[in-house]
């Protein structure tokens, strides 16, 4: 299996990085980003380790998630790929996960 990042997930990861650069500093931003990337890589050996994402059940695509700090790494297993669809800050209202304005990549 290999990890595939959607454009949406990459944009969200960049936004998280930029937020932490502004609110804290570049070192902390890099540390948070690296932890998210490392956690995502662990899915290669345990792709079904994440729980099913309740708020995305209506999409019927078996989205799962793992937690890294304050962030959900939302992914699906598609053939032999682990597709990272979103990095979602759990401090937000979870209803935002299905907000059309966010346009989660299917």
Extents of the domains making up the chain: 2-98
Which superfamily, per CATH, for 2-98?
A: RelE-like (3.30.2310.20)
Q: What percent of the chain has pLDDT over 90?
A: 87
- pLDDT above 60: residue 106: no
Cα dihedral across residues 10, 90, 96, 15: positive or negative: negative
Using pLDDT thresholds of 50, 70 and 90, give the confidence band for residue 8.
very high
Strands 81-89 and 2-5: parallel
User: What's the pLDDT at 62?
Assistant: 96
User: Among 3, 37, 12, which Cα is nearest to 99's?
Assistant: 12
Mean pLDDT of 27-51: 97
């Amino acid at each position: 299996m290999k990890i595939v990042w959607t454009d949406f997930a990459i944009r969200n990861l960049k936004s998280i990085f930029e937020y932490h650069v502004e609110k804290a500093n570049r070192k902390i931003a890099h540390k948070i980003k690296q932890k998210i990337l490392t956690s995502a890589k662990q899915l290669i050996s345990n792709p079904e380790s994440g729980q099913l994402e309740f708020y995305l059940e209506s999409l019927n695509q078996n989205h799962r998630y793992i937690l890294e700090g304050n962030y959900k790494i939302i992914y699906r297993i598609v053939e032999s790929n682990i597709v990272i669809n979103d990095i979602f800050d759990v401090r937000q209202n979870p209803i935002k996960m299905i907000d059309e304005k966010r346009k989660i990549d299917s």
